[in-house]
Amino acid sequence: MIVGVLAIQGDFGEHIKMLQGLGVETREVRLPEELENLDGLIIPGGESTTIGKLAKEYKMIEPLRKFGEEKAVWGTCAGAIFLSKDATRVKTGQPLLKLMDITIQRNAFGRQVNSFEVGLDVPALSAVSEENPPFDSVFIRAPLIESVDAEDVEILSSLEDGTIVAAKQGNLLATSFHPELNDDDRFHRLFLTMIKK
């Protein structure tokens, strides 16, 4: 199994480290041909404007779309924006992959001084961990999932006020926070089970 990490910009190195810690072979992906023979792909956190622009200029949008129609893709923060079918507060003309039936709001919590950490209950993680303590989640200028727009979208976690911050639809996973910045690898293990299916 080889898992790719989109390496246009952002914290792709942290995802790669996490995957390697789980004994998974990884590949940095910057160009369409680098998607070949991958079993899954992670789109990391970063600036969604930069990632979208460079993906478009290097003709990655269609190949990424095709990849996501068949194989497992996980977007964290900026990556979740990129995966979404619709997004608000994005830059005009910012390209989206339109793979996952969610509407996402960029920079939903405000500027950097409003960034926060919180422990989240994620029942779905019990599939990879018997004891399932709250997942320490890092929200950095984070987006939120405004709505899930299809019946097969499963809400994995919400904040206390009901704001949706993690969702899954078939082979697609979106989190508005950064599991790659933790020592806790449960989300990465959950993603690997989506690949093996």
Partner 1 sequence: MAKEENGKEMASYKLKAGLAQMLKGGVIMDVVDADQAKIAEDAGAVAVMALERVPADIRADGGVARMSDPDMIEKIMAMVSIPVMAKVRIGHFVEAQILESIGIDYIDESEVLTPADEAHHVNKHKFKVPFVCGCLNLGEALRRINEGAAMIRTKGEAGTGDVVEAVRHARTVFGAIRQLQTMAEEEVYAYAKEIRAPYHLVNEVKELGRLPVVNFAAGGIATPADAALMMQLGVDGVFVGSGIFKSGDPASRAAAIVKATTHFNNPEILADVSRNLGEAMVGRQISSMSDDEKLADRGW
Out of 88, 107, 158, 163, point to the residue binding partner 1 (CB under 8 A).
107
Q: Choose the stretch contacting partner 1; rule: CB under 8 A; options: 34-42, 67-75, 135-143, 166-174.
A: 135-143
Query: How many binding residues for partner 1 (CB under 8 A)?
Result: 39
Site string for partner 1, 54-83 (x = CB under 8 A): x--x-------------------xx-----
E strand or H helix at 28? strand 25-29
Q: Is 184 in the site for partner 1 (CB under 8 A)?
A: no
**Which residue out of 14, 15, 146, 180 is catalytically annotated?**
180
- 3-state SS class at 97: coil
CA 166, 141, 89, 13 torsion: positive or negative?
Answer: negative
- CA-CA-CA-CA dihedral for 106, 109, 112, 116, to nearest 10: -120
State in angstroms the smallest separation of the CB of 192 from partner 1.
Answer: 22
Q: Is 179 in the site for partner 1 (CB under 8 A)?
A: no
Nearer to partner 1, 56 or 66 (CB): 56
Q: Choose the stretch contacting partner 1; rule: CB under 8 A; options: 18-26, 41-49, 95-103, 188-196.
A: 41-49
The amino acid at residue 140 is I
Q: Choose the stretch contacting partner 1; rule: CB under 8 A; options: 17-25, 61-69, 105-113, 162-170.
A: 105-113
CB 180 within 8 A of CB 15: yes
CB 41 within 8 A of CB 5: yes
Strands 116-120, 72-76: pairing kind? unpaired
Q: Label residue 158 exposed, middle or buried (CB < 10 Å: 0-12, 13-18, 19+).
A: middle
Q: Is 7 in the site for partner 1 (CB under 8 A)?
A: yes
To the query of whether residue 15 is one of the catalytic residues in this protein, the response is: no
SS3 track for 32-94: HHHHCCCCEEEECCCCHHHHHHHHHHCCCHHHHHHHHHHCEEEEECHHHHHHEEEEECCCCCC
Footprint of partner 1 on 136-175 (CB under 8 A):
138, 140-141, 160
Interacting residues toward partner 1 by CB under 8 A: 7-14, 30, 45-47, 49-50, 53-54, 57, 77-78, 89-91, 106-107, 111-119, 138, 140-141, 160, 178, 181
Catalytic residue list: 77, 178, 180
